[in-house]
Amino acid sequence: MLILGIDTSCDDTSAAVVEDGRRIVSNIVSSQSEIHAKYGGIVPELASRRHIEMIMPVVDEALLQAGIGLVDLAAVAVCHGPGLIGSLLVGCSFAKAASYARKIPLVAVNHLEGHVLSVFLGESVPAFPFLSLVVSGGHTSLYVAEDFGAYRELGRTRDDAAGEAYDKVSKLLGLGYPGGPLIDGLADKGDPNALEFPRAYLPESLDFSFSGLKTAVLNHLHNTARKTASSGLLPQGQIQDIAASFQKAVVDVLVRKTEWAIKRQGVSRVALSGGVSANRALRARMKAMASERGVEVFIPPVHLCTDNAAMIAAAGYHHARRGEYAGLALNPRAYLPL
């Protein structure tokens, strides 16, 4: 069964063709990072305008690379939320038009389900149930995946998402957008124990909180600037130490909370997904913790951690298999819990 997936939830325009929820036939991602970089974050109006320009060429390229036409599709699966409403509208309008014009069944996919199921596009796949940590620019949530379509949330961030904290700290350090890969790169050269930033463990809870950590970095920068009586950029060595210490605080919390959830739920498999799961330190620490506990770990290849339509097509396959189709009245939703 060939499914066309479409994702325009944030700042990437993506279309992909996936067979049977497992085999990627094509996966095109057109990034808008360059457009938003000079603003230090995503400008929603610019994002939706760019999606309008890119949606047709991106879908065409996905079909071309797959060597198929719209008529060969079993369904078109579109991400209808959560995300930026103007961005989501572009993908949903396109998918509805294609579905109507070519009489292809339409499937609506929650972006978070896409991230959870992105591990099924990797080489080895988890059996159910498994614990799933989704860490992205908009979300930081722990779920137990009982089956396809059956997810139970154990905890979520109470304020900033982990990726959001990376992006905001990157902006504070004058590094650019998106901040995750930039801090990931700099952290290697710094001392992760140079600065003691706070970790919000929220005892007894599997929720997360990263806004205090971001404020601690901001306070540190203010204090350093006051001491050196300079408002200019810090020396490179200090920026590397801040990046490394900040990253260690984020990774410590994510790994520790995942470990708590493994213990509480008694699961023996854990999956990691979302943009922040591209982070090398997080991948390494999660693997080390899992191997210590004798737990299997599943992490998609880096290009499938960040937003992509292959994960939407993979999730869409399971909806189609169960006969869960959407009508043309489908509307995108900025807020859409899994």
Which of 221, 299, 307, 316 binds Zn ion (CB under 5 A)? It is 307
CA-nearest of 273, 313, 303 to 109 is 313
Q: E strands of the chain, at which residues? A: 2-7, 12-19, 23-31, 75-81, 106-110, 130-135, 140-147, 150-156, 269-273, 296-298
The backbone region for 265, taken as left when phi is positive above 0, alpha when psi lies in -120 to 50, beta otherwise, is: alpha
Q: Which C-beta is closer to ligand KG4: that of 184 or that of 241?
A: 184
Interacting positions 200-219 with Zn ion (CB under 5 A): none
Least distance (Å) between residue 280 CB and Zn ion: 19
Q: Which residues bind ligand KG4 (CB under 6 A)?
A: 10, 136-138, 163, 166-167, 178-181, 184, 274-276, 278-279, 306-307
332 binds, among ligand KG4, Zn ion, none (CB under 5 to 8 A by kind): none
C-alpha span between 200 and 37 (Å, rounded): 29
Least distance (Å) between residue 278 CB and ligand KG4: 4
Least distance (Å) between residue 274 CB and ligand KG4: 4
Question: Percent helix, strand, coil in the chain (nearest 5)?
Answer: 50, 20, 35
State the pairing for strand pair 75-81/106-110.
parallel
Q: Which C-beta is closer to ligand KG4: that of 99 or that of 110?
A: 110
7 binds Zn ion (CB under 5 A): no
Q: Do residues 250 and 210 make contact, with C-beta atoms less than 8 angstroms apart?
A: yes
- Site size toward Zn ion (CB under 5 A) is 2
- DSSP lists the bridge partners of residue 79 as 109
141 binds Zn ion (CB under 5 A): no
Least distance (Å) between residue 291 CB and Zn ion: 27
C-alpha span between 124 and 26 (Å, rounded): 19
Q: Which C-beta is closer to Zn ion: that of 105 or that of 300?
A: 300
Q: Which C-beta is closer to Zn ion: that of 11 or that of 241?
A: 11
Applying CB under 5 A, which residues contact Zn ion?
Answer: 136, 307
